[in-house]
């Protein structure tokens, strides 16, 4: 693991004691240090550079008061800026409808199916909703089976049509089933591929047009670093999604992908997933992620 940015900043300012103000001169090496630490935390280099330009501007002229060391002051400026760039507040999640429709999209292996189960469990237990899970991956029978098992574990019904190869029809049928069974939220788990591909995008876009979702959540593996940003951009260009889900935050990542993605596509991160167990889902708090990036 890397030395935390917080420690590095506090160390980098040892020489500043007694200078009174943060100036261009005494901040240069620290800015470099922040940039390096952000890149280590998986923030895209270009974004880290733009970020530090803003931090430099904010820091210049700041008075160093006795109660707080220059390093601590820089930590605060960086943290506030991280929080603000990641949206500041907790993003809204729209689950109102009869039923509300939530479309889950992302690459294969990103954690879509696992997250679909977690979200269903979260909405059932925390929001007291009655979810229906939908297996709309018609290419991998194993994905259908995985969702069936997850549904069983959390006590949520799963809509499966093994013989139907048309995901749009499956989604529409599922919404009909939800209405007839008084389910108030439908979570559609779509097919993914190992890389962004036109056929997959068209398929998800077709489901979107047919079911007019309340939320389209783009699921991305936080361990994929820089690739996460390109994937997010490709999905957003086609789907104009409403929020991001960052998965596998239990892994060895500082979570800088959160900053890069928000910066690049300007869509809020709504949930995080941090484990294989079904209760490891959380609402995204910019403040907590900023602290994690700082280390
Ligand atoms: P999908 O292909 O996008 O539906 O991805 P899956 O939900 O099948 O997940 C792919 C793999 O990642 C599985 O082995 C999951 O158990 C694992 N996985 C999913 N989410 C997480 C997570 O938050 N943390 C960890 N450690 N593993 C996860």
Concatenating the DSSP letter of every residue in the chain gives -PPPHHHHHHHHTGGGTT--B--HHHHHHHHHHHHHHHHHTT--HHHHHHHHHHHHHHHTT-B--TTS-HHHHHHHHHHHHHHHHTTSSPPP----STTEEEEEEE-TTSSHHHHHHHHHHHHHHTS---EEEEEE--S-HHHHHHHHHHHHHHT-EEE--TT---HHHHHHHHHHHHHHTT--EEEEEE---SS--HHHHHHHHHHHHHH--SEEEEEEEGGGTHHHHHHHHHHHHHH--SEEEEE-TTSS---HHHHHHHHHH---EEEEE-SSSTT-EEE--HHHHHHHHH-
pLDDT at residue 66, rounded to an integer = 62
With a cut of 60, say whether residue 33 has pLDDT above it: yes
pTM value is 0.93
pLDDT at residue 71, rounded to an integer = 79
Cβ of 236 closer than 6 Å to ligand 1, yes or no, is no
Which pLDDT band holds residue 13 (cuts at 50, 70, 90)? low
Cβ of 62 closer than 6 Å to ligand 1, yes or no, is no
pLDDT at residue 14, rounded to an integer = 63
With a cut of 60, say whether residue 16 has pLDDT above it: no
Q: Is the peptide bond before 99 cis (omega within 30 degrees of 0)?
A: yes
Highest-pLDDT range among 13-22, 29-38, 48-57: 48-57
Which atom of ligand 1 lies at the shortest distance from residue 107's CA? 3
In the 3-class helix/strand/coil scheme, how is 3-30 assigned residue by residue? Answer: CCHHHHHHHHCHHHCCCCECCHHHHHHH
What percentage of the chain exceeds 70 in pLDDT? 95
- How many whole angstroms separate alpha carbon 41 and alpha carbon 257? 8
- Binding-site entries for GTP: 106-113, 189-193, 247-250
- How many whole angstroms separate alpha carbon 195 and alpha carbon 217? 18
Residue ID of nearest Cα to ligand 1 atom 16: 276
The mean pLDDT value for 135-148 works out to 94
- How many whole angstroms separate alpha carbon 124 and alpha carbon 257? 29
Best residue for ligand 1 mutational test, from 276, 278, 280, 282 (most atoms within 8 Å of Cβ): 276
Which pLDDT band holds residue 6 (cuts at 50, 70, 90)? confident
With a cut of 70, say whether residue 12 has pLDDT above it: no
Query: How many C-beta neighbours within 10 Å does residue 65 have?
Result: 10
pLDDT at residue 44, rounded to an integer = 86
pLDDT tens across 47-59, in order? 999 999 999 999 8
Both tokens assigned to 16 = 């500043």
With a cut of 60, say whether residue 2 has pLDDT above it: no
pLDDT tens across 226-266, in order? 789 999 999 999 999 999 999 999 988 888 889 999 999 99
Close Cβ partners of 281 (under 8 Å, ≥ 6 residues apart)? 115, 118, 119, 121, 122, 271, 272, 273
ipTM for the assembly: 0.99
With a cut of 90, say whether residue 73 has pLDDT above it: no
Residue ID of nearest Cα to ligand 1 atom 10: 109
Which pLDDT band holds residue 206 (cuts at 50, 70, 90)? very high
pLDDT at residue 226, rounded to an integer = 79
Best residue for ligand 1 mutational test, from 104, 113, 114 (most atoms within 8 Å of Cβ): 114
């Amino acid at each position: 693991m890397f030395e935390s940015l917080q420690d590095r900043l506090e160390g980098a300012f040892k020489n500043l004691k007694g200078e009174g103000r943060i100036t261009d001169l005494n901040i240069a090496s620290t800015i470099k240090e922040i940039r390096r630490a952000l890149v280590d935390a998986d923030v895209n280099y270009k974004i880290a550079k733009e970020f530090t330009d803003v931090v430099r501007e904010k820091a210049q002229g700041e008075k160093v008061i006795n109660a707080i060391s220059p390093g601590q002051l820089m930590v605060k400026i960086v943290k506030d800026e991280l929080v603000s760039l990641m949206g500041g507040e907790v993003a809204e999640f729209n689950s109102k409808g009869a039923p509300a429709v939530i479309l889950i999209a992302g690459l294969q292996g990103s954690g879509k199916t696992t997250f679909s189960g977690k979200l269903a469990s979260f909405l059932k237990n925390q929001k007291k909703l009655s979810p229906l899970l939908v297996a709309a991956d018609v290419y991998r029978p194993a994905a259908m089976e995985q969702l069936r098992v997850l549904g069983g574990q959390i006590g949520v019904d799963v809509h499966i049509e093994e013989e139907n190869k048309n995901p749009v029809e499956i989604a529409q049928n599922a919404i009909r089933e939800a209405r007839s069974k008084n389910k108030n939220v439908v979570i559609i788990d779509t097919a993914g591929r190992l890389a962004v591909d036109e056929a997959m995008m068209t398929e998800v876009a077709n489901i979107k047009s047919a079911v007019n979702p309340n939320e389209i959540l783009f699921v991305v593996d936080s361990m994929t670093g820089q690739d996460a940003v390109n994937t997010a951009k490709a999905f957003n260009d086609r789907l104009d999604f409403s929020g991001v889900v960052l998965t596998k935050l239990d892994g060895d990542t500082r979570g800088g992908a959160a900053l890069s993605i928000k910066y690049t596509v300007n869509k809020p991160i709504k949930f995080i997933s941090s484990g294989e167990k079904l209760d490891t889902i959380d609402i995204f708090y910019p403040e907590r992620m900023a602290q994690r990036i700082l280390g």
